[in-house]
Amino acid sequence: MIARVLRDEIVRAEQQRRLYSALVVVLTLAVLIGGLRQASAMNSGSFFAGLSKFFDYPGEIVIEAWQAGPAFFGLLWRFLPALVETLNIALVATLLGGAAAVGLSFLSSRNLDVWPPLIPVVRRTMDVMRAFPELILALFLIFVLGTSPIPAMIAVAFHTAGALGKLFSEVNENIDRKPIDGLRACGASWMQRLRFAVWPQVAPNYVSYFMLRLEINVRASAILGFVGAGGIGSELRRTIGWGQGAGDETAALFVLLFLSIVVIDQMSSATRNRLVRGPALA
């Protein structure tokens, strides 16, 4: 009797769950189709027409790169300095932003004996830092400081401090507090507790987030070249702006970007493995 009642209840719950799933699917489709139609209408009808030509341009790039033959590798070599400049912007910005993020994250974690009223203040500050897109900040800074890699670097570092600070503080809040108590009972100062009880626990995760951010910042720095920050972005704007004829150069630039992202990803997992499984940290 009870089994029967239970069975009816389970069947009813199951039917309800299916109904909700179906509703979610229908809703998602409606939003998708509605959004596409809207976009098409605002483009005065050329959206779907343009869609058929979607692969024309990338196709052109690939064909031109193929036609270039061995000269393509010469292009890679020619654009290497531009890549180095972009990587440089990204690396310095990530290091500066990451260092600031470490400080901000310690001051915004509830489990690290920080003066409590300070925590929401630091958190809101990081929200503000994250809210500014790098592009807008870079445009503003380039207007003030002139076209050079420095404004781009500041813009990326500023955004990075906010973004990494939030991730770092989430890492901090997941640590084991027992080592902190252990060192507090020895008479260690707050800084010493952070250094020896918190840092060894959080460092491996910091490294993964840092490397992920470095990867994101390489792309961000490339984009900032479009607004005059130099590096690979400036080259891309030139070659894409020229349209036909510079396809091989565009392809070379994309290959360089792709390779650098792959290298960073490999370095990231290697470093993290060493930190987690390797010899003891100090």
Partner 1 sequence: MGRWDLEIVELSKTFGAVTAVDRVSFAMSEPQMIGVIGRSGAGKSTLLRMINRLTPASGGRIVVEGRNVLELRGREMREWQRLCAMIFQQFNLVPRLDVVTNVMLGRLNGHGAFKSLFAMFDRGQIEDALAALDRLGIADRALQRAETLSGGQQQRVAIARALMQRPKMILADEPIASLDPLSAEVVMKALREIRDRDGIPVICNLHTLDTARAYCDRVIGMRDGRVVFDGPSSELTPTAARDIYGAEAALDESVTSTSIGKAEAPAWGSPVVAGA
Our CB check for partner 1 shows the closer of 5 and 185 to be 185
Helices (H), 71-198: 71-107, 118-131, 134-145, 149-173, 178-184, 190-193
Our CB check for partner 1 shows the closer of 105 and 221 to be 105
Smallest gap, in angstroms, from Cβ of residue 273 to partner 1?
14
Smallest gap, in angstroms, from Cβ of residue 280 to partner 1?
4
Give the amino acid at 210: F
Our CB check for partner 1 shows the closer of 62 and 99 to be 99
CA nearest to 74, candidates 86, 65, 84 = 65
Smallest gap, in angstroms, from Cβ of residue 200 to partner 1?
4
Our CB check for partner 1 shows the closer of 55 and 190 to be 190
- By CB under 8 A, name the binding residues for partner 1: 176, 178-179, 181-189, 191-192, 195-197, 200-201, 279-282
Smallest gap, in angstroms, from Cβ of residue 113 to partner 1?
11
CA nearest to 195, candidates 204, 203, 186 = 203
Smallest gap, in angstroms, from Cβ of residue 180 to partner 1?
8
With contact defined as beta carbons under 8 Å apart, do 165 and 100 qualify? Answer: yes
With contact defined as beta carbons under 8 Å apart, do 105 and 175 qualify? Answer: no
Chain centroid to CA 5: how far?
52
**DSSP calls for 23-76:** HHHHHHHHHHHHHHHHHHHHTTTHHHHHHHTTTHHHHHHHHHHHHHTTHHHHHH
Our CB check for partner 1 shows the closer of 166 and 193 to be 193
Q: CA 41 to CA 131: how far, in whole Å?
A: 31
Q: What is the dihedral of CA 49, 55, 57, 61, to 10 degrees?
A: -170
Our CB check for partner 1 shows the closer of 73 and 190 to be 190
**Residue 23: other Cβ atoms inside 10 A:** 10
Structure tokens at 213: 């951010």
Smallest gap, in angstroms, from Cβ of residue 278 to partner 1?
10
Smallest gap, in angstroms, from Cβ of residue 187 to partner 1?
3
Our CB check for partner 1 shows the closer of 174 and 266 to be 174
